[in-house]
Amino acid sequence: MDAAHNVSPSFLRLKHIIGDQKASPPIPPIIPISKTAWWNGVRDGIYPKPIKLSDNVTVWRSDDIQKLVDHIVKTHLPSVPCLIKKDKNHV
């Protein structure tokens, strides 16, 4: 594929970010929060600003969502204690 036609990053709709269990097949969440919590976070500047493609189509850049996930992992997960007990015989 020619580099001039390489499309990256892509756009994600809200259902691809927070998931949609009613879809067929269900869409697993990237960030498992409610729609209200997501929009409150957008309003408060916690989550990336959306791009409005039309009156009924709002999207986010996939690279912005990846940066958000990376930030969440970096800032929150290291402080979460491991809930799996380590086996002394397993390396």
Give the pLDDT confidence of 56-86 residue by residue, as tens digits.
999 999 999 999 999 998 887 665 555 444 5
Q: Are 38 and 20 in contact (CB under 8 A)?
A: no
The pTM is what?
Answer: 0.75
Mean pLDDT of the chain: 85
Phi, psi for 8 (deg, rounded to 5): -155, 130
